């Protein structure tokens, strides 16, 4: 992996997360924090993908990283942590897999399907990867929050 590719992924994550921050009506002063969490998420996931992790596992680990970083930043910024968690991890949602899954499922609804079984299997695989990846991201974000709450109660 080249440094240029790594920086490109981090920059794209930052831009996407800041864009989602704008979409979610985040205060202007918090947009750099949204960008930082997005950059961290895609940078961590990219590193793990490059060393051979699956998309789902890399997304989980990156979400745990973002969740832990946001827990640490919460005291410094005073920002509602779910805001930074979600905007930072949205760029990791596998949109191309979701699109391929939908296209495959729509193809099955036509009257003439060339390779019906192959199309169904491919669409199902993409659908499952999207579901598992989104579940991994959600679980990864929940773990640091759960650990901090549990520690505060003890």
Query: For 52-84, how does the pLDDT look when each residue is reduced to its tens digit (9 = 90+)?
Result: 999 999 999 999 999 999 988 876 666 666 788
Secondary element (H or E) of residue 152: helix 116-153
C-alpha–C-alpha distance, residues 59 and 63, integer Å: 6
Confidence band, pLDDT 50/70/90 cuts, at residue 1: low
Q: Show the tokens assigned to 94.
A: 């596998």
**Residue ranges covered by each domain of the chain:** 3-153
Query: Which of 82, 47, 72, 80 lies closest to 61, judged by CA?
Result: 47
C-alpha–C-alpha distance, residues 94 and 134, integer Å: 8
Section 127-136 average pLDDT: 97
Residue 121 reports pLDDT greater than 60: yes
pTM of the entire predicted model: 0.88
Q: How many CA atoms lie within 13 A of 52 on its CB side?
A: 0
Residues 6+ apart with CB under 8 A from 38: 13, 14, 15, 16, 17, 18, 20, 87, 88, 90, 91
Q: What percent of the chain has pLDDT over 70?
A: 92
């Amino acid at each position: 992996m080249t440094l240029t590719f790594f920086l490109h992924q981090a920059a794209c994550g930052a831009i996407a997360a800041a864009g989602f921050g704008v979409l979610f009506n985040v205060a202007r002063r918090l947009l750099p924090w949204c960008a930082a969490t997005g950059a961290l998420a895609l940078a961590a996931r990219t590193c793990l993908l490059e060393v051979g992790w699956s998309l789902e596992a890399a997304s989980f680990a990156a979400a745990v990283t973002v969740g832990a970083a946001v827990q640490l930043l919460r005291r410094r910024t005073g920002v509602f942590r779910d805001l930074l968690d979600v905007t930072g991890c949205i760029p990791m949602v596998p949109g191309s897999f979701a699109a391929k899954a939908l296209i495959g499922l729509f193809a099955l609804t036509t009257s003439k399907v060339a390779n019906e079984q192959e199309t169904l299997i491919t669409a199902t695989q993409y659908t499952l990867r999207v579901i598992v990846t989104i579940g991994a991201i959600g679980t990864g974000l929940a773990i640091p929050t759960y650990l901090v709450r549990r520690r505060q109660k003890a």
